[in-house]
């Protein structure tokens, strides 16, 4: 057993801090182990899936995801409809810093929507509606049935370089969104379909595309921020190859209610979603705290 060591704040960069965290204990140790595991994923040339929930794209973490896509650090993304919503809106207007303790009735009356301590003006969704109806009409003029990944690629071609969708489109990184109707873009597709009933969003169309990536990979790894459908779609897809080789989970969800969001990496092994000898790290922490430290350390090491 290695000894616990006191952190000395004489380091000059994130790498020094993370290295010091390895012998700290608790979640700090797990964070340092996650950096090493992601480094191993890259060294082993694993196909890396990045999964995240929509709330994280409302935060400043969007910039890190954008950089991962720009540098082709990951090979595919699995996320929710809200992530696409936020990426579109933030491409045209800023989100504001608020407070968890705001009066939500007053916010509603002022046309402000709260995501924790992040405020989003309702006019952002008006911008999204205008853009989506125009884009859906353009798509519909060429084809009547489309998959979520193809829609995400099309949208990315319309967005500026600050957008993670932009870089996914530019670098041909697929974005899988199995719950694409559960968000503002889903509502816009519903509105569009009222006038164009033969328009079809075929979610099943992406299943072969995802399976092909999983089955043709020599090794697979996952970096999963949060839980829900983004998490499960990655680990579930890897059942067909007897599980992921590597997994890093960052989540604040607890496992004691049996939820998928709170399920630990060890539970995934019972399902064959992570190999029995798979290497994994679980960090119980807010991803907006843990992931910037991980990314900064990887960048300083020359891995990102």
d(CA 244, CA 221): 6
Of the residues 273, 275, 299, 301, only one is catalytic, namely 273
CA distance 114 to 236: 32
> Given the DSSP bridges, would you call strands 76-78 and 175-176 parallel, antiparallel or unpaired?
parallel
E strands present in 58-129? 76-78, 96-97, 112-115, 118-121
CA distances from 6 to 1, 21, 34 (A): 16, 9, 20
Residues 228, 80: Cα–Cα separation, whole Å: 9
**Cβ contact 160:166 at 8 Å:** yes
| CA atoms of 79 and 53, how far apart (whole Å) | 6
Residue 225's CB is within 10 A of a number of other CB atoms, namely 26
Active site residue 45: no
Residue 192 near residue 201 (C-beta atoms within 8 A): no
Quote the CA–CA distance of 135 and 158 in Å, as a whole number: 9
Which is nearest to 265 in space by CA: 16, 88, 37, 76? 37
* Residues designated as active site: 273
């Amino acid at each position: 057993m290695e000894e616990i060591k006191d952190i000395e704040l004489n380091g000059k960069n994130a790498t020094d801090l993370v290295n010091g965290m390895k012998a700290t204990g608790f979640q700090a140790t797990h964070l340092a182990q996650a950096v090493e595991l992601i480094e191993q994923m890259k060294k082993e040339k694993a196909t890396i899936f990045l999964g995240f929930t929509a709330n994280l794209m409302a935060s400043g973490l969007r910039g890190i995801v954008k950089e991962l896509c720009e540098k082709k650090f990951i090979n595919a993304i699995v996320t929710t409809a809200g992530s696409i919503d936020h990426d579109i809106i933030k491409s045209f207007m800023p989100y504001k810093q608020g407070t968890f303790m705001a009066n939500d009735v007053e916010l509603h009356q002022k046309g402000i929507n709260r995501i924790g301590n992040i405020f989003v003006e309702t006019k952002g969704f008006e911008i999204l509606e205008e853009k989506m109806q125009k884009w859906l009409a353009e798509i519909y003029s060429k084809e009547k049935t489309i998959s979520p990944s193809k829609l995400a690629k099309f949208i990315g071609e319309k967005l500026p370089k600050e957008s993670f969708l932009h870089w996914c489109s530019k670098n041909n990184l697929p974005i899988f969104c199995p719950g694409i109707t559960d968000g503002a873009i889903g509502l816009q597709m519903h509105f569009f379909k009222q006038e164009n009933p033969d328009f079809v969003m075929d979610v099943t169309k992406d299943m072969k595309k995802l399976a092909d990536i999983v089955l043709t990979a020599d090794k697979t790894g996952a970096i999963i921020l949060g839980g829900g459908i983004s998490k499960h779609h990655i680990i579930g897809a890897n059942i067909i190859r007897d599980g992921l080789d590597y997994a890093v989970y960052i989540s604040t969800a607890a496992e004691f209610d049996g939820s998928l969001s709170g399920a630990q990496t060890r539970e995934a092994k019972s399902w064959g979603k992570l190999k029995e000898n798979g290497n994994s790290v679980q960090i119980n922490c807010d991803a907006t705290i843990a992931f910037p430290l991980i990314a900064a350390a990887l960048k300083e090491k020359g891995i990102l």
